Amino acid sequence: MILSAQDCGCSIVEEGPTVINSPVCSGTYLFMVLLQSYLWGRCDISTPCKRIESVKKTDDKYDFVVVGAGSAGSIVASRLSENGTFKVLLLEAGGPEPIAARVPGFYRGFWGNEEVDWKVRAELGDFCLDQGEQGCSWPLGKVLGGTSVLNGMMYHRGHRADYDDWVAHGAEGWSWDELQPYMDMIENNKQIGTVVDGKYHSDAGVMPIQQYNYQPPQLQDLLDAANETGFPIIKDINDPNTPEGFAIAQAFNDNGQRYTTARAYLVPKSERPNLSVKLNAHVTKVLFKCKRAVGVEYVDEKGKKRKVKANKEVILTAGALKSPQILMLSGVGPKETLDKFDIPVVADLPVGKSFKNHCGATLYFLLTKANNTQTLDWNALTAYLLNREGPMASTGLTQLTGFLYSSFADKERNQPDLQFFFNGLYAECSKTGIVGEPAGDCPSSGYNVSANAVHLLPRSVGYMTLNSTDPFDQALYYPNFFDHPDDMEAIKEGFQYLRKIFNSQILQDKYEVKLDPAYTKECDDVAEAWSDKWSECMIRLHTDPQNHQLGTNAIGLVVDPSLRVYNVTNLRVCDAGAMPSPPTGNPQGAIMVVAEKCADLIRQKWTK
């Protein structure tokens, strides 16, 4: 035994899915069983005394009912319950957070696990062709903490111009300067003065933010390659003076562990009796009295339909893909859709019509001189268990990112429209834990890494609509990627930037990098590598639709600048769906701002 289980002062409840049968690690067993049990036994990881317990039964009435305990909902419910006077209910369709998801190395470990992932698929189009008839895959958190349980934890809050764009869409009061206090309330930055400048960051907020405490050596090689290529290397992607460049990102983590918004913001009922959390509660509709939202209907873990009243407001925070479905099922949506499904119209609004998402494409490379071995082994596990350090304490190459301008961007606005991500070296699976164990999914020599070029200011606009009136049925999502030709062209430019990085002397000398032929062969048959035609083929084949969906209940279309749904009362939407245009970067930072401001607006209204 490396460490025996600790006495945490509260008993450990082994709930939620484990990493043992993670879809990413299928076939692994003994080592992962041991690893999982070691994780349970560490008090600071399993935090049994901070456990958010689901209430068995909800009361008849609350002041506020918040729907969806994800990135936004956990914040809204926490802030509303803070002063002790409001009685708040937070309803979540999923169950408890898997403890192993707190290990950054397992950041992909629960994708596709239906206990915590809605496993959403987009409708088919001329994109994501490598996924065949299934359509683009969108992992989406169905769990306490929502998608902050599955995401890459990268902290970015967008650029000043993003918020100017929001204001231009009618979001009065949402400029960068007006939102600054909310950004400060969020951020508990642990690297002010070392990595980031206190002028642009706060350490007084709730969410711990810093770089991971481990970087694989190959990460520095990639940074050196970007530098050799002539791209700026920056320290802080959130410093407004350095919008362009490559950097090791700061992330939502502390002590080598993921922080979801639920973990950072929610507190157990014993500490805050006026906040109740009900898990496995799937909200099926908002209940209206005339045009006033008066509560919600949900189906509990036993399949029983329940109703709960909201004396003051119902707040939807079910995310950009699910809040619009709940609205439509409740009679708030485009009249033609509601009529089609015989849903009585409460408010005729363009719900689901302005659906946007960042979109890019993936290039797969082989580091032909690198060893094809697992990153997770006994050494990595020991380093993590003893000190919360080593490969398990980071997301490998994924902590590196970069922002550049395509020829479609207006540089004067300091709003880069291309972002780059890198994938590989995850300490996520092992059969034996033996040092040097070959990585199962790679060829016998060479190490696979991949990189994504992502367009952040897409001109294509999609939509979503109902598939049926069954609330458990997936709605239909039409992202319309590449409908606007500029989006394809911008990603092609991104490909050329990545080509330069991977062709750099430093990477060639050290790793002899080449495109992995397993991923290019369809397009190699079409045209010469890196040509325009080849790039388009690759982009449609290996589309990388981000999980940054937004705009389905946008400010100015469906909700007003106070996030109140138009033409009804006592109902708000406070999640990614409310954002009228994309933040140019990873969106959780901006979504947290939406949630903080939403809670503040509600408090102002109901506090005398």
Ligand X SMILES: Cc1cc2nc3c(=O)[nH]c(=O)nc-3n(C[C@H](O)[C@H](O)[C@H](O)COP(=O)(O)OP(=O)(O)OC[C@H]3O[C@@H](n4cnc5c(N)ncnc54)[C@H](O)[C@@H]3O)c2cc1C
Q: Annotated binding site for FAD, which residues?
A: 143, 147, 283, 587-588
Q: Are 51 and 13 in contact (CB under 8 A)?
A: yes
98 binds ligand X (CB under 6 A): no
Residue 548 among the catalytic residues: yes
Helix (H, G, I), strand (E, B) or coil at 408: coil
Closest approach of ligand X to the CB of residue 357, in Å: 10
What are the residues whose beta carbons fall under 8 Å from the beta carbon of 382, sequence distance 6 or more? 2, 390
Closest approach of ligand X to the CB of residue 151, in Å: 3
150-158, 227-235, 450-458, 490-498 -> range binding ligand X (CB under 6 A): 150-158
Helix (H, G, I), strand (E, B) or coil at 391: helix
Whose Cβ is closer to ligand X: residue 156's or residue 492's?
156
Q: Which residue has the tokens 């708000």?
A: 572
Site track 253-282 with ligand X (rule: CB under 6 A), x = hit: -----------------------------x
Whose Cβ is closer to ligand X: residue 35's or residue 576's?
576
Whose Cβ is closer to ligand X: residue 282's or residue 455's?
282
Q: Are 421 and 131 in contact (CB under 8 A)?
A: no
DSSP string for residues in 35-59: HHHHHHT-HHHH-GGG--PPPSS--
Interface residue with ligand X among 380, 591, 598, 602 (CB under 6 A) is 591
Interface residue with ligand X among 139, 216, 245, 333 (CB under 6 A) is 139
Interface residue with ligand X among 19, 72, 179, 266 (CB under 6 A) is 72
**Residue 109 to residues 114, 123, 138: CA-CA distances in angstroms?**
12, 25, 15
Interface residue with ligand X among 93, 225, 385, 559 (CB under 6 A) is 93
318 binds ligand X (CB under 6 A): yes
Site track 470-509 with ligand X (rule: CB under 6 A), x = hit: ----------------------------------------
Closest approach of ligand X to the CB of residue 397, in Å: 13
147 binds ligand X (CB under 6 A): yes
Q: Are 246 and 400 in contact (CB under 8 A)?
A: yes
DSSP string for residues in 307-374: EEEEEEEEEE-S-TTTHHHHHHHTTEE-HHHHHHTTPPPSEE--TTSSBB--EEEEEEEEETTS--B-
What are the residues whose beta carbons fall under 8 Å from the beta carbon of 57, sequence distance 6 or more? none
> What SS3 string covers 562-591?
CCEECCCECEEECCHHHCCCCCCCCCHHHH
65-73, 239-247, 330-338, 429-437 -> range binding ligand X (CB under 6 A): 65-73
332 binds ligand X (CB under 6 A): no
Q: What are phi and psi of 45, to 5 degrees?
A: -90, -50
Residue of 159, 201, 358, 548 marked catalytic: 548
Known binding residues are 143, 147, 283, 587-588
Closest approach of ligand X to the CB of residue 431, in Å: 25
The CA distance from 355 to 375, in Å, is 38
CA torsion angle 117 587 362 418 (round to 10): 170
554 binds ligand X (CB under 6 A): no
Q: Are 150 and 116 in contact (CB under 8 A)?
A: yes
575 binds ligand X (CB under 6 A): yes
Indicate the residue type of 401: T
Which residue's Cβ lies closest to ligand X?
70
Interface residue with ligand X among 552, 588, 598, 602 (CB under 6 A) is 588
Would strands 543-545 and 61-67 be described as parallel, antiparallel, or unpaired?
unpaired
Structure tokens at 97: 């957070």
285 binds ligand X (CB under 6 A): no
589 binds ligand X (CB under 6 A): yes
Whose Cβ is closer to ligand X: residue 520's or residue 588's?
588
The CA distance from 598 to 314, in Å, is 12
Interface residue with ligand X among 376, 587, 598, 602 (CB under 6 A) is 587
50-58, 147-155, 231-239, 437-445 -> range binding ligand X (CB under 6 A): 147-155
Exposure pattern of 101-124 as b/e (b: 16+ CB <10 Å)?
Answer: bbbbbbbbbbbbbeebbbebbbee
Whose Cβ is closer to ligand X: residue 223's or residue 574's?
574
Closest approach of ligand X to the CB of residue 91, in Å: 5
333 binds ligand X (CB under 6 A): no
What are the residues whose beta carbons fall under 8 Å from the beta carbon of 601, sequence distance 6 or more? 562, 563
- Residues marked as catalytic: 548
Which stretches of the chain bind ligand X, using CB under 6 A? 67-73, 91-94, 139-143, 146-148, 150-154, 282-283, 317-320, 322, 326, 547-548, 575-576, 586-589, 591
